[in-house]
Amino acid sequence: MKTDSPTADTGQACAATRRGRPRSEAAEQAIFTAVEDLMAGGTTMSELTIEGIATAAGVGKATIYRRWPNKEALLVDVVSRLEVPMPEPTGEGARADLIEMVDYMRRRGLAKRSRWVLKAAFGQMHSLPELHNAYRERVVKPRREAGLALIRRAVDEGVLRADLDPDLLGDLLMGPILYRSILWDDSDLEDPDLARAMVDSVLQGLAPR
């Protein structure tokens, strides 16, 4: 996934030379690392304070507020950093690719840091609509589009029915795993065969033949 730097929204790439001391890359890194460490250490969302982050990062509070207007904005960037690229098509056919995609979601939901982010940060989004949109634009949408590309290929290969809306197909395939990732426990994602079972089940249909 391609993500802009946190200052992307200020569009500072002006023709005139930038003046003054440039922002410290090290400080930025320290902030990200501090947040991820705190998260990994079991800190819940409401315990995650800017003051705590600043202290853990060895950074002044102003250095954080210079980059992000509030806690949520910082988290969106943390989230973006943690998202890993989706798997490339395996070349073994569309069904295998669909399973791989679903299994990627399952593994991502299991990964400790990623799961914390997926749950906690995502949860805050409805309080800050513009951040919700930013997250959807930068994280959800690219993935959804990759999924749709995959689905269209599967339709071409005859693995998926052509008479259904691709959006619907996507939700039917991805919804269950994401639902489990967000709402339920990790234990519900541990079965390594889960992705195959899900994909095959919806492919074949839940009704008896």
Partner DNA sequence: CGATAACCGAGACGGTACGTCGAGTCTTGGC
Partner DNA sequence: GCCAAGACTCGACGTACCGTCTCGGTTATCG
Residues at the site binding a copy of itself, with contacts judged by CB under 8 A: 44-47, 119-120, 122-129, 136, 140, 158-162, 164, 168-169, 171-180, 182-183, 197-198, 201-208
Using alpha carbons, list the distances in angstroms from residue 65 to 18, 28, 143, 162, 186.
20, 12, 30, 50, 34
Distance (Å, whole) CA 9 – CA 195: 38
Q: Choose one: 46-54, 93-101, 147-155, 184-192; the region binding DNA (CB under 7 A).
A: 46-54
| CB-CB neighbours of 78 under 10 Å | 22
Q: Could you say whether residue 50 binds DNA (CB under 7 A)?
A: yes
Q: Choose one: 66-74, 87-95, 151-159, 187-195; the region binding DNA (CB under 7 A).
A: 66-74
DSSP-derived 3-state class of residue 51: helix
If you write DSSP's letter for every residue of 125-174 in order, what string do you get? GGGSHHHHHHHIIIIIHHHHHHHHHHHHHHHHTTSS-TTS-HHHHHHHHH
Q: Could you say whether residue 14 binds DNA (CB under 7 A)?
A: no
Q: Choose one: 49-57, 113-121, 156-164, 187-195; the region binding DNA (CB under 7 A).
A: 49-57
The entry of a copy of itself, DNA, none that residue 168 binds, CB within 5 to 8 Å by partner kind: a copy of itself
DSSP-derived 3-state class of residue 192: coil
| CB-CB neighbours of 182 under 10 Å | 13
The entry of a copy of itself, DNA, none that residue 61 binds, CB within 5 to 8 Å by partner kind: DNA
Q: Which is nearer to a copy of itself, 89 or 166 (CB)?
A: 166
Scan for tokens 């998202």, then name that residue: 83
Q: Could you say whether residue 18 binds DNA (CB under 7 A)?
A: yes
Q: Which of 24, 29, 90, 133 binds DNA (CB under 7 A)?
A: 24
DSSP at 206? S
Q: Say if residues 167 and 107 touch (Cβ distance below 8 Å).
A: no
Scan for tokens 């949860």, then name that residue: 123
Q: Which is nearer to DNA, 67 or 180 (CB)?
A: 67
CB of 131 to DNA, least distance (A): 11
The entry of a copy of itself, DNA, none that residue 125 binds, CB within 5 to 8 Å by partner kind: a copy of itself
Q: Which of 14, 15, 19, 208 binds DNA (CB under 7 A)?
A: 19
Contact footprint for DNA (CB under 7 A)? 16-24, 27-28, 30, 47, 49-52, 58-63, 65-66, 69-71
